[in-house]
Structure 1
Amino acid sequence: MNATPSLAPDDAASAAASIAASVAALRAHYDAAVLPLWRGPGWNAAMQLPCEALGGADRQPLPASRYRAMACARQLYVFSQGPGAGDAAHAGQLFDSLRRHFADAARGGFVYSIDAQGKPLDTTKDLYTHAFVVFACAAYAERTGSAAARTLLEDTTQLIEARFATAHGLYHAALAEDFSPAATPAQNPIMHLTEAYLAAHALTGDSFYATRLQALATAVLGAFVDPATGCIAELPLAPGVAGAVAPADNRVEPGHQFEWFSLLASAPALFGGSALAQSLARAFDFALAHGVDLETMGVAAALHLDGAPRDATQRIWAQTEFARALAVRGDAAALAHLRAWLRAFPARFLHAGGWHECLAPDGTVARAEMPSTTPYHLATAYQALAESCG
């Protein structure tokens, strides 16, 4: 096998400078074109909540039918990362709104959504939402020192462990309003809980999070990983785990392989050398080989477990997770792909007014509206790019 050729020192310096300049341009677009949307037309001042989505062409709010707690929490994270004092103040409004609109004062936890008038709409208690509450509170507490955010983070963690945990070391994806099980384990909310607990551990230093994360990695490996490829399937594969399905009924999302890879690589003290981290190195290669069009650097939405195409739509979040994983991996081959991605992504997905949410493989816009949840993906990817390559 031929090793990837290394660059001469001058060429390597030039490549690094090119990557850094491209990353800076992405961040400049984010600061000038993306963030202002959610303090301007995307902000419902009466409700003190972000609109669910803006039109891709006119940047005006789409008709409101609901507001989700998860969307509010993601925006809380985004503005907790914002560079200006005004961003921190806006994060404070979002933190207050999260508690005021979505907290279930009678039963505990958070409802999934409210309607356009602020009344409870979907009272499901889903793990995805609660994970983002923990994640966002960690970011807000780090930015502001808010004792209330730390308390909410700790209370929500306790609720997750008391209510959502299953016998297999996993978590129910959703519970009914009264906390009875409503959905069996799924990888995506567990992945975001992993992200949330990593942020909580970084903020608090509490050994609980380290212990739980390591145990969760073992549980995910046993329940979701396809031994043939190392990929984490969307639904459980292991017989006996609630919600397990046959391989033909399951799927692999390349974006999630890249996202999982980045999360575990970000915490080598917890996951370095673990069986799940080793598996995800294989999953990275599988997702790259079967889920990425190297001509456009576009990442497909989903594959069958054998790598055959299942959904060729290219969603923007999967593109950003690919870039983050390339930067985190950081070897010569990954950086060559990253340079190609940095040339292709802005031309295909970004525009002066924001972004395209989904493209077809030929570049046709498949979904033009701009959801309030997407800036979170841009923020986490751009931060990783700046830290690794800036």
Structure 2
Amino acid sequence: MQDQRSNASSPMQSMQSVQSTSPDSAAPLREHYTNIVLPIWRGPGFNTSLGLAYEAVAPGDQAPLPPKRYRAMACARQLFVFSEAGDLAHAATLFESLRHYFQDKRNGGWFYSVDASGAPLERQKDLYTHAFVVFASAHYAKKSGSAEAFALLDETSRLIEARFSTGGDLLNAVLAEDFGATLETPLQNPLMHLAEAWLAAREATGDPAYDKRLAQLAQSVADAFVHQPSGAIAELPMGAAGNRLEPGHQFEWYFLALGSGHAAFEAAGLNDRLVRAFDFAQQHGVDQETGGVYAALDETGRVIDGTQRIWAQTEYLRALATRGDAVGEQIARFRARFLHETGWVECRSAEGEITRAEMPSTTPYHLATSYAALPV
């Protein structure tokens, strides 16, 4: 999405005045994103002295919340956002900040976070973080042609394979700073984002090595995480205590597998299962009155966490569009409940109350990926 700023006196008035080209048009969402969301992270949400986006800003005046840390994943998501927005100058600043602050020169890989002054804080090696480094570097490399970004995504992908392996096909979620100890065994969410990252890397590089990586990843998820009665992909390996099914992740996996059309997911038997998972999540995990997507279900479909987070709403929109379903009504519901004239609502309760008002720097990634898949 290009940065085409409106000359309208009020961004929200401009948003409301957009004439949709079809009943399902997402033009008002894109207008809001361009005129309201992106300027936050070039302006008040960006720490110019460090070259990093603040972790979150306030919903009214968009003032940054006092920083306690900066996460590598958040920096990577901002790199993706501005690469896709066509603002390659800002993206280049973020790419340099990512390498400067978060790359572990001694042990390899990427620190989880740095403190308010930019010194390494949480030093563990987190697969979720590494996946987003690959994802963002792939998008930046494709848009900019940066040789450094191409090299970085290849280097990080090789490190993931070598260091995060469990000894089988699955990958551990968190390792110690020196990769010497396993702090968290395999989890669904990092693996999903690694699939997203390797899809982006395959597209950016054309390297068939990513086809092999995706095939192994898809098969390992199919073998360990699929809840057979519903087809849903669980958060923990099946049989683990306290497992749950997140509707938002079913919609996200649906887009990644069926939206990409990559053969790895079909070969692993995930596509048919995800069609069933979509239906299960839509039936049990979406409030029929408001269209709000709940946070988590148990294996029977009972709601165990009724929180409605904005990212899950964006994944529902993206999955609906991927299926070819009419999305106009859901776009209108989402816009009314989660967007406002100074930004967005991060979380609502099942009853509709705002439970998280501040706006994290990580959320524009969700908006951008969703809006890109919606009708023009």
Deviation, 1:272, is 6.2
The equivalent of 2:24 in structure 1 is 19
Matched residues in 1 for 2:73 and 2:264: separation?
27
Over 3 Å counting, the alpha-carbon distance change for 1:121 and 1:269 in structure 2 is closer
Contact 1:66 1:114 in 2 (8 A): yes
Aligned-residue identity in percent: 56
- Where 2:227 maps in the other structure, the secondary structure is coil
Deviation, 1:271, is 4.0
Moved more, 186-195 or 112-121: 112-121
Moved more, 146-155 or 263-272: 263-272
For residues 254-287 of structure 1, give each alpha carbon's deviation from its aligned partner in whole angstroms, at most 9, with x where no partner exists. 0000000000012224246441111111000000
The equivalent of 1:128 in structure 2 is 128
Deviation, 1:363, is 2.0
Deviation, 1:199, is 0.3
For residues 7-56 of structure 1, give each alpha carbon's deviation from its aligned partner in whole angstroms, at most 9, with x where no partner exists. xxxxxxxx971112xx0110000000000000100000011100000011
Residue 292 in structure 1 maps to residue 286 in structure 2: yes
Structure-to-structure mapping, 1:42-191, within 5 angstroms = 42-83=45-86, 87-180=87-180, 181-191=182-192
Residue 325 in structure 1 maps to residue 315 in structure 2: no
- Where 1:67 maps in the other structure, the secondary structure is strand
Over 3 Å counting, the alpha-carbon distance change for 1:147 and 1:259 in structure 2 is same
Deviation, 1:107, is 0.8
Structure-to-structure mapping, 1:305-320, within 5 angstroms = 305-320=299-314
Q: What letter matches 2:349 in structure 1?
A: A
| 2:260 counterpart (264, 267, 270) | 267
Contact 1:271 1:277 in 2 (8 A): no
Q: What letter matches 2:60 in structure 1?
A: A
| 1:368 counterpart (338, 357, 364) | 357
Matched residues in 1 for 2:362 and 2:262: separation?
30
| 1:280 counterpart (253, 274, 277) | 274
Q: Moved runs in structure 1, 4+ residues, more than 3 A? A: 271-274
- Where 2:64 maps in the other structure, the secondary structure is coil
Matched residues in 2 for 1:252 and 1:233: separation?
5
Matched residues in 1 for 2:148 and 2:259: separation?
27
Over 3 Å counting, the alpha-carbon distance change for 1:344 and 1:235 in structure 2 is same
The equivalent of 1:227 in structure 2 is 228
Over 3 Å counting, the alpha-carbon distance change for 1:162 and 1:271 in structure 2 is closer
Contact 1:163 1:179 in 2 (8 A): yes
Query: TM-score, normalising length from structure 2?
Result: 0.92
Structure 1: segments with no counterpart, 5+ residues? 1-14, 239-244
User: Number of aligned pairs?
Assistant: 355
Structure having the larger proportion of residues in helix: 1
| 1:250 counterpart (243, 252, 261) | 243
Deviation, 1:362, is 2.6
Deviation, 1:168, is 3.1
For residues 185-242 of structure 1, give each alpha carbon's deviation from its aligned partner in whole angstroms, at most 9, with x where no partner exists. 000000000000000001111111111212211110110001111011100115xxxx
For residues 83-110 of structure 1, give each alpha carbon's deviation from its aligned partner in whole angstroms, at most 9, with x where no partner exists. 4xxx210000000000000000111111
Query: TM-score, normalising length from structure 1?
Result: 0.89
Q: What letter matches 2:344 in structure 1?
A: W
- Where 1:162 maps in the other structure, the secondary structure is helix
Matched residues in 1 for 2:275 and 2:167: separation?
28
The equivalent of 1:345 in structure 2 is 334
Matched residues in 1 for 2:126 and 2:28: separation?
37
Contact 1:135 1:197 in 2 (8 A): yes
The equivalent of 2:40 in structure 1 is 37
| 1:354 counterpart (321, 334, 343) | 343
Matched residues in 2 for 1:215 and 1:308: separation?
32
Structure 2: segments with no counterpart, 5+ residues? 1-19
Taking only aligned residues, the RMSD between alpha carbons, in angstroms, comes to: 1.2
Deviation, 1:58, is 2.3
Contact 2:211 2:264 in 1 (8 A): no
Matched residues in 2 for 1:162 and 1:326: separation?
37
